[in-house]
Amino acid sequence: MSLKIVTWNINSVRLRLAQVNELAKLAKADILCLQEIKVIDDLFPHDGLKELFPYRAVKGMKAYNGVAILSKLPIIEESRLQWCGKDDARHISATVEAGKAGKIEVHNFYIPAGGDEPDPEINEKFAHKLKFMKEMARWGKKTISPKARRIMVGDFNVAPLEADVWSHKQLLKIVSHTPVETDHLEKVRTTQDWVDAVRHFIPEDEKAFSWWSYRNRDWRASNRGRRLDHIWVTPSLTEHLSGIEILDQTRDWTKPSDHCPIALELSI
DNA sequence: ATGGTCGCTTGGCGA
């Protein structure tokens, strides 16, 4: 069977509810992971989503952050982990039952953006971001299991490779692409030998972006993008990877999110 | 070097 998993930083699920359904059909998503839903659990728009996604796991908060996993496949287990001692809705996981293929564990993260100044001594937000990734690496080591079939997605707010930003040189001191951040993210990746699904299909030296600032008037013309959104899979799933799609056409929709979705197809 | 735009919420924060 084919399984399609999509990640998208939606920047308000209530404002873009119609776009979720549009995207779900466009990408033929079986599982859709959202970040920055910006809503408390009680106000999450279940009614507008339940037809396409009968199973939903939500972790929201007021005004900021918030993550959700929408699924056509039954969710048989959920978890919501706290990071850096904060209850700030940056993680949710769901174990789905994928027919004969068995269980797959999906983790959806919204890593802190980190503010503007890339110095943890003077910028608490940047310190928080680094600490968050350190905790992720510890979590990875602690929960590793060679046979586990696990997928990790989300807005990691880090563009790790040179071709993940529009200008490597100009962004080396810009939060999201500094060496200390890319080192931290690489440590998270190696804890479970995660495979970067986008770079599994797209050569490492080919530019690939998932985010363009709202401040660029013509995002496509200037193309000052970054690849902040990621889909990683455990090595046990590598042989099942069958396709990747960066759905940047959504950036041209009316009232777009500043992030575009990424869709991974697996044959399992 | 600076400012540019969003969303949530209603003054200002976070991205």
Instruction: Give the start-to-end residue ranges of the domains of chain A.
Output: 2-267
pLDDT of residue A145: 84
For position A100, what pLDDT does the model report? 80
Q: Calculate the angstrom distance between C1' of B7 and CA of A63.
A: 8
A88 in Cβ contact with A64 (< 8 Å): yes
What is the pLDDT at residue A83?
Answer: 98
CB proximity A182–strand B (7 Å threshold) = no
Asked whether residue A86, judged by its CB, lies under 7 Å from any atom of the DNA or RNA strand B, the reply is: no
Of A153, A161, A170, give the one whose Cα is nearest residue A8: A153
CB A89 within 8 A of CB A69: no
**Cα–Cα distance for residue pair A9/A217, rounded to 1 Å:** 20
CA distance readout (Å), A54 to A18, A75, A155 = 17, 10, 24
**DSSP H/E element including A185:** helix A179-191
Q: How many residues does chain A have?
A: 268
Half-sphere exposure of A257 (CA within 13 A, CB side): 31
CA–CA gap between residue A238 and residue A245 (Å, rounded) = 16
Within 10 A of A34 (CB to CB), how many other CB atoms are there?
29
- Residue A161, Cα to own-chain centre: how many angstroms? 16
Strands A150-155 and A103-110: parallel
Question: What CA–CA distances, in Å, run from A245 to A15, A123, A175, A201, A210?
Answer: 24, 35, 26, 10, 11
Q: E strands within chain A? A: 2-9, 31-35, 55-59, 67-71, 75-79, 91-97, 103-110, 150-155, 195-196, 211-212, 225-226, 229-233, 241-246, 262-267
- Block residue for tokens 């994928």: A98
Rounded to whole angstroms, what are the CA distances from A88 to A66, A85, A151, A168, A208? 7, 9, 22, 31, 29
Q: Which CATH class is domain A2-267?
A: alpha beta
Collect the ranges in chain A with pLDDT lower than 50: none
Minimum-distance residue to B6 (CA–C1'): A214
Q: Kindly determine whether the C-beta of residue A64 is less than 7 Å away from any atom of nucleic acid strand B.
A: yes
Nucleotides of B under 7 A from a protein CB: 3-9, 12, 14-15
Residue A236 Cβ under 7 A from any strand B atom: no
Q: What angle do CA A71, A4, A67 make, to 5 degrees?
A: 45
Is any atom of strand B within 7 angstroms of residue A90's beta carbon?
no
Whole-number pLDDT of residue A2: 95
User: How far is residue A30's CA from residue A52's CA, in Å, rounded to a whole number?
Assistant: 9
Nucleotide closest to A228 measured between CA and C1': B15
Is residue A10 a contact partner of residue A257, using CB atoms and an 8 Å limit? yes
Check residue A148 and give its pLDDT.
85
Does nucleic acid strand B have an atom less than 7 angstroms from the CB of A173?
no
Predicted local confidence at residue A144, as pLDDT: 81
Is A170 strand, coil or helix? helix
